[in-house]
Structure 1
Amino acid sequence: MKKRILIGLGIAVSLFLILFVLVVIFRGQLLEYTIKQVEARIEKKYPVDFTITQAKFTDLNSVVLSGISMVPHDRDTLFATDSVHASVSLTSLLRGRIGFKKLEVANGFVTARKNGEVNNFSFLLEGDKEEPADTTKKGGRNYGELLNRLIETAFDNVPDQVDFKNLNVSYVSPNRTMDVKLPFLKIDDGNIDAQLSVRLDSMVNNMRVQGTIDPGDYNIAASFYASDAKGIRLPYVKEKFGGTVTFDTLHLSLQDKTYKKEKLTMKGNAKVQNLVVNHPKIATEDVLLKEGAIDYVVTIGKDFYAIEEPTEVRINKAVASIQASYQNATSKIIDLKINTEPIPANNVFESLPPGLFENLDGIKAQGDLTYKMSFHVNMDSLENLKFNSDLDASKDFKIVQWGKTNIQKINGSFVHTVYEYGKPVRTFTVGPSNPFFTRINAISPYLRNAILTAEDAGFYSHNGFHEEAFRQAIIANLKEGEFVRGGSTISMQLVKNVFLTRHKTVTRKVEEAIIVWLIENLDLVSKSRMFEVYLNIIEWGPNVYGAKDASRFYFGKQPSELNLAEAIFLTSIIPSPKRYRSSFDSYGNLRNFKGYYYRLIGGIMRRRGLITQAEYENLYPNVRLYGRARDLIVTAHDTSQVEEVDTTEFELETIDLLDF
């Protein structure tokens, strides 16, 4: 029995040796046949003429291919190269394909062109032209399926060794030009090393790329290093968004990917160092992030995009878990969740990028902070929008050292500067040394209660934020497609006026929220003092700031002498004080549209017991102007009338309608 087995093995080995010898002897003919098969397969799959002019072996398994080109039918050449030196697997030739173990390419050119609807590359993304159309699929393209196909095609064709020299890739269209030059690209035993120059229109990025790749596991990690002092700049940010984004180093990795139930899930991480962002809507100066990182899990499907657990984002020393999704199968649905574990408070403040939150620079704190936020909206039913945001502190949390700004300064006299369009226009002291400063108990209760009714009914009970008002503001802004309502409380308006410039940036709103949270949660300033400062600094007209200045400007009175009608008028112009003249006709009479506002605010004040029934019944929407305001507003000799505009909606934007 053993003898038969040995004889069988001997025959098998002999046959293999004979086959190997035949392959070696006829490898040239086999290579020529295989190349014809490859050309035929490519031309059957794609509408192209694919040509390899010459192929020959230089030793046992090394070949030289020359005159390689791919020309789409009736289109410009997509790919061409002078020569390819490669190590070929002989066993792959027996299977009718060319399997490269080592690939050397010199002077390769890939040129993609597009002019209107005509291009020479889109066929590569369309899959097999013989594949029958799937009529069960409706709607737009599944980008998860497309990306999965690109990833697998790229990884499945990576040789063990790569040595590219002078590889050029370009994209040309009437509006865009892109050129990528690789003086060299090497892959050896899974290690990547390359020099890269990318020109997008007039922007040029020069960088070095190093990393590793494991095609079998769809695993790649690459680091991009700027090779000049300009750094690496993201293209088209200036043209599309009006800003710039630059960084020194970028690390990217794909660690795993799965495609299941028509959804692609990718896992990996990214890290950026010395990121500089400049955009007028983010901040007024460069924002520097020394280090930011993300460990991501991303899923892409048809009408579905998601950032899933356990995605974590790190900004310097602060770490947060993020979940987000966008789906548009039947309607647009957006979900976002942000959660953190307890973070040392010092790590939070030290992680804030310089240039982003000026008043918080240098703060030292003890204890921990925890943040949770959830957001959900169906764009077809905005009224059901959900928003919750909570920043919690440990019991031992406290500020042990103020930095650039002492938030507690508003407890005493301080110098206040008014800004317009980011520029200072007036500076005055908020305190007894200023003759226009008025203590809160010397301001008419009518004015105090009217402002609270219209601006922030829950001021004395909430902790600085009115979540429902903010939710309503988000709904209004989404409906209009632009920012039309802020949802600010008096606490937020006070902080904005005292500590922040008037530049409307995203980061200013975040800084405003942090300062409000510190004031309210640490009881740094009493509610009464906050309201008092607010009443002494808000704008009420042309260079008119504070209740005393406003009372004298419009009515020639002290703030304590204001009646109900005058108080409601002053309240009505707080949202837009520069439009004060539009409230009056040329004779100085309030315009008719003010009547609704008077009935609304007066009615709420009556129901809350802030005025009597008799006061409400005697309330008439008119006031008598004196002094400077009369000189500016009353122009009876000029019969032209200011166009009457219905500003009811604008004036009521800050009123908490739920408290009616």
Structure 2
Amino acid sequence: MKTKILWGLGGLLAFFLILLIFLFIFRSRLLEYTIERVVTKVESRYPADLNIGRARFTDLTSVVLSDISFVPHNRDTLFTTDSVRASVSLRSIFKGRIVFNRLEVANGYLTATKHNGRDNFSFLIKKEGTQPVDTTNRKSRNYGELLNRLIETTFDNVPDQVDFKNLNVSYVSDNRTVDLRMPYLTVEDGDIDAQVAVRTDSLVNNMRVHGTIDPGDYNIDASLYASDNQGIRLPYVKEKYNGTIAFDTLHLSLKDKKFRSDMLTVRGQASINDLVVNHPKLADEDILVKEGAVNYVVTIGPNYYSIDSLTEVRVNKAKANLHAVFRNAGSKIIDLNVKTKPIPGNDVFESLPTGLFENLEGIRTQGNLQYKLKFHVNMDSVENLVFDSDLDASKDFKIVQYGKTNIEKINRSFVHTMYEYGKPVRTFTVGPANPFYSPINQISRYLRNAILTAEDAGFYSHNGFHEEAFRQAIITNLEKGEFVRGGSTISMQLVKNVFLTRQKTVTRKVEEAIIVWLIENLDLVSKNRMFEIYLNIIEWGPNVYGAKDASRFYFGKQPSELNLAEAIFLTSIIPKPKAYKSSFDSYGNLKSWKGGYFRLIGGIMRRRGLISQEEYDNLYPNVRLYGRARDLIVTAPDANLEDSTEFELETIDLLDF
């Protein structure tokens, strides 16, 4: 009995031994068959040739493939590598097919090229069986479908286990070269680890990548961070936009994607640390954001792009929900909604990026703030534009400590410096100690009312902002295709002159709005005081600041003595005080085109009861120069200012604003 058992075991062992010998003998043929299937499958899917120079087993379960290349038809070679080592599943050999468990790729070179509009890579993401996209009709292109194919192509080609040594990726076009070198890149059971050096022209970024990937669910979660103290700097920003962007760490994730009815929806998260932005149009110095994050839900389809209302944006401690839609089917329609929950005021001010709002740095508050924005425009009917912006505060909101700047300083005398092109040109005291300072009740009512009429008719009734004026400014700028109108109130002009630099940056306007909101909504400064300071610091000519200085410069009189015509003239040059000479001819007479402005402002003042009918009837669009301005303006020989040209004043109907 024991002998029979031994004979049976021996026979079974011999069978497996013979089977192993058989597999060992025929495994090379099996390898060739597997490679042929792979090549056939790839070449049937893509218009390219996959070449494998040699394939051989080095031991029972290890394979080496060498001299591999992937060459698109009639295009430059896309990929080459010296060798690929693969671990083979022993079970797959028994089943008569080879499955590679792990790939080790040495000295791989992926080279994407684009010359004269022809490239060697776009075929990878083109939809099978479709004609080339008609680039002459870009509005019909579905970028959602294109992105979906790119995502699926990328994820479908991610191996379960791979180990790259010296992987080199480059992009070469007619005007750009980018080189990426990876000393190593490993993907093992969904874990990603890589070291990366990217060179774009003379800029080199050294980075590390860590994360996870699940190709089956189109899920990736990865962090990119600098491996040196230079940070990660975005290329071409300096050359193209005259700015710089750098950061220390970037985290990106794709949690879910759905493509239905030609619409792609992607969900995920992104965050960034130590973001530094520098651009002269944004701020005078570096802008630093310690932490920024977004939980996004984005949908892209034919002529449709949206950021879902579930999207949450965070800057440091401050959070907001964002909803934006852009439609481009026939008409361009833009919708934007921003909304926050009540946020502690301290969190808001502490979250303001460093370098943006110098006057607000260090400010401490009590209570909560909440913001809402609604914006809608159809570019075919911009006159119906909707703009609604509200910053609300809780009843207990107040400032408990000022930062670098005490906003209430304008309630008392203070020293003010005027700047031009970033350089100080004049410093003077704003207060009774200055002989050129005029209290508001010593300034002609004509000048006060003319300025209010032209610059900000609702100054005494609004809370610092005139939304309709701002809405009209946006409409005008959109119609003109450039910035031609501002919509600033007197409150905003005052804050700009007292607290901010004269450089026109986006962030300066935001800081201006915040300071105005604080002054107006917390009643930090009275309206009369604000108007009085405004009248004493605004520019009216060459080194001419304030109503008293202007009255003496042009007319040799006190501001209380200004007549209606003189007041309207001074009002007319506030927007462009340096161009004051352009209002006059060489004899010192106002040019004829000024007559329209006089009729406009005078007519509105009459309708609002600010001047009488008689005063309006006696208004002529001309003034007589006396002061220092006469010597600068009058250049004609033997000019007689007494014989000034008079313009017939036509009574026209003017609607109140």
Whether these two folds match at TM > 0.5 is yes
For structure 2, which runs of at least 5 residues remain unmatched after alignment? 1-17, 640-653
Rate the CA distance shift 1:630–1:263 in 2: closer, same or farther, 3 A: same
Match of 2:106 in 1: 106
Q: Secondary structure at the match of 2:75?
A: coil
For structure 1, the residue ranges without an aligned partner over 5 or more in a row are 1-17, 640-656
Correspondence for 1:452: 452
Relative distance call for 1:192 and 1:394 in structure 2 (3 A) is same
Conserved 8 A contact 1:100-1:159:
no
Instruction: Give 2:595's aligned amino acid.
Output: G
The alpha-carbon deviation at position 34 of structure 1 amounts to 3.3
In the aligned structure 2, how far is the partner of 1:630 from the partner of 1:45?
Answer: 84
- Correspondences of 1:393-542 after superposition (within 5 Å): 393-542=393-542
Which digits, 9 at most, give the CA deviation of each residue in 1:229-279, with x for residues without a partner?
Answer: 111001111111110011111111111111111111111111111111111
Aligned partner of 1:551 in structure 2 is 551
Aligned twin of 1:316: 316
Aligned to 1:6: none
Q: How does 1:362-401 map to 2 (within 5 A)?
A: 362-401=362-401
Which residue type is aligned with residue 74 of structure 1? N
Matched, 1:304 2:304: yes
Preserved CA contact (<8 Å) 1:34 1:93: no
- The residue that corresponds to 2:642 in the other structure is none
TM-superposed CA distance for 1:57, in Å, is 3.5
Q: Kindly state the Cα deviation for residue 109 of structure 1 after the two structures are TM-superposed.
A: 0.3
8 Å contact from structure 1 (residues 272, 292) kept in 2: yes
In structure 2, the partner of 1:118 is: 118
- Could you report, residue by residue, the CA deviation over 1:469-505 in whole angstroms, capped at 9, with x for unpaired residues? 1111111112222211110000000000000010111
Residue number in structure 2 paired with 1:204: 204
| Correspondence for 2:594 | 594
Alignment partner, residue 66 of structure 1: 66
Indicate the SS of the match to 1:228: coil
Whole-Å Cα distance in 2 between the matches of residues 68 and 97 of structure 1?
21
Contact 2:361 2:403 in 1 (8 A): yes
Q: Does structure 2 retain, via aligned residues, the 8 Å contact 1:552–1:627?
A: yes
- Tell me the distance in 1 between the aligned counterparts of 2:622 and 2:51: 88
Deviations for 1:554-575, whole angstroms, at most 9, x for unmatched residues?
Answer: 0111001110000000000001
Contact 1:490 1:531 survives alignment (8 Å): yes
- Give the structure 1 partner of residue 13 of structure 2: none
Tell me how far 1:309 sits from its aligned partner: 2.4
Name which of structure 1's ranges 324-333 and 162-171 shifts more when overlaid on structure 2. Answer: 324-333
The Cα shift of 1:224 comes to 1.1
TM-superposed deviation, 1:317: 0.8
Give the superposition deviation at 1:364. Answer: 0.6
Question: Whole-Å Cα distance in 1 between the matches of residues 536 and 130 of structure 2?
Answer: 75
Q: How far apart in 1 are the matches of 2:84 and 2:51? A: 13
What pairs with 1:239-258 in structure 2 (closer than 5 Å)?
Answer: 239-258=239-258
Q: TM-score, normalised by structure 2?
A: 0.91
1:236 aligns with 2:236: yes
Question: How far off is 1:30 after superposition?
Answer: 3.4
SS of 2:280 mapped into structure 1: coil
Which string of whole-angstrom CA distances, capped at 9 and with x for unpartnered residues, describes residues 332-364 of structure 1? 211111110000001111111221100001101
Q: Is the 8 A contact 1:31 1:93 kept in 2?
A: no
1:441 and 1:43, CA in 2 relative to 1: closer, same or farther beyond 3 A? same
Q: Secondary structure at the match of 1:309?
A: strand
d(CA) in 2 for partners of 1:253, 1:179: 25
Deviates more, 1:116-125 or 1:331-340: 116-125
> What CA deviation, in whole Å up to 9, does each residue of 1:505-556 have, x standing for no partner?
1110000000000000000000000000000000001111000000110011
Provide the rounded CA distance (Å) in 1 between the counterparts of 2:288 and 2:166: 35
1:21-170 correspondence to structure 2 within 5 Å: 26-59=26-59, 61-88=61-88, 100-128=100-128, 130-131=129-130, 139-170=139-170
Q: Secondary structure at the match of 1:112?
A: strand
Which amino acid in the other structure matches residue 556 of structure 1?
G
Quick check: 480-489 or 406-415, which moved more? Answer: 480-489
- 1:290 aligned residue: 290
Distance 1:138 1:251, change over 3 A: closer
Separation in 2, partners of 1:21, 1:268: 52
Shift of 1:131: 4.7
The Cα offsets for residues 203-228 of structure 1, whole Å up to 9 and x where unpaired, read as: 11001111111222211111111111
SS in 1 for 2:313: strand
The answer to whether the Cα contact below 8 Å between 1:38 and 1:97 also exists between their aligned partners in 2 is no
Aligned CA distance change for structure 1 residues 160 and 46 (closer, same or farther; 3 Å): closer
Cα distance in 1, alignment partners of residues 561 and 93 from structure 2: 100
- Which secondary structure does the structure 2 equivalent of 1:308 belong to? strand
CA contact (8 A) 1:164 1:186 kept: yes
- Offset of 1:161 from its aligned partner? 1.3
- Give the AA of the match of 1:211: G
Show the counterpart of 2:614. Answer: 614
Tell me the secondary structure at the aligned position of residue 520 of structure 1.
Answer: helix
Between the aligned partners of 1:261 and 1:88, the Cα distance in structure 2 is 41
Tell me which residue corresponds to 2:182.
182
SS at match of 1:602: helix
Tell me the distance in 2 between the aligned counterparts of 1:154 and 1:85: 22
Change (3 A) 1:20 1:557: farther
In the alignment, which residue of structure 2 is the partner of 1:214?
214
Structure 1 residue 93, shift from structure 2 partner? 9.3
- Counterpart-to-counterpart distance in 2, 1:353 and 1:226: 21
Gap change, CA 1:616 and 1:23, over 3 Å in 2: farther
Q: Distance in 2 between matches of 1:494 and 1:180?
A: 52
Whether contact under 8 Å (2:337, 2:375) holds in the other structure is: yes
Contact kept, 8 Å, 1:541 with 1:578, in 2: the verdict is yes
1:564 to 1:57, Cα distance in 2 relative to 1, 3 A: same
Specify whether residues 344 and 320 from structure 1 end up closer, same or farther in structure 2 by C-alpha distance, changes over 3 A only. same
The Cα offsets for residues 560-613 of structure 1, whole Å up to 9 and x where unpaired, read as 111000000000000100110000000001001111001110110000000001
Alpha-carbon distance in 1 for matches of 2:300, 2:274: 29
CA contact (8 A) 2:219 2:253 kept: yes
Q: Provide TM-score, normalisation by structure 1.
A: 0.91
Q: Offset of 1:41 from its aligned partner?
A: 3.3
Distance 1:184 1:138 in 2: 39
Greater Cα offset, 141-150 or 576-585:
141-150
Distance 1:303 1:333, change over 3 A: same
Contact preservation (8 Å) 2:23, 2:93: no
The equivalent of 2:276 in structure 1 is 276
Count the aligned residue pairs. Answer: 625
- What is the Cα-based RMSD across aligned positions, in Å? 2.4
| 1:139-165: CA deviation from partner (whole Å, max 9, x where unpaired) | 432221111112112222222211110
Cα distance between partner residues in 2 of 1:19 and 1:322: 65
Asked if the contact 1:359–1:404 (Cα under 8 Å) also holds between the matched residues in 2, the reply is yes
8 A Cα contact 2:607 2:656, kept in partner? no
Distance 1:102 1:68 in 2: 17
> Equivalents in 1 of 2:263, 2:543: separation in Å?
60
| Greater mean deviation of Cα atoms: 404-413 or 327-336 | 327-336
* 1:575 and 2:575 correspond: yes
Query: d(CA) in 2 for partners of 1:358 and 1:275?
Result: 18
Q: CA deviation at 1:61?
A: 4.8
Residue 351 of structure 1: aligned partner: 351
Shift of 1:89: 5.8
| Alpha-carbon offset, residue 88 of structure 1 | 4.6
Report the Cα offset of residue 382 of structure 1: 1.0
Letter in 1 for 2:500: L
Residue 42 of structure 1 and its aligned partner are, at CA, apart by 2.8
Distance 1:564 1:22, change over 3 A: farther
Q: Is the 8 A contact 2:30 2:98 kept in 1?
A: no
Is the contact between residue 608 and residue 656 of structure 2 (CA under 8 Å) also seen in structure 1?
Answer: no
Mapped partners of 1:179, 1:296: distance in 2 = 30
Instruction: Confirm or deny: 8 A CA contact 1:37 1:96 kept in the other structure.
Output: no
- Cα distance 1:449–1:334, how it changes in 2: closer, same or farther (>3 A)? same
> SS at 2:309's partner residue?
coil
**What corresponds to 2:361 in structure 1?**
361
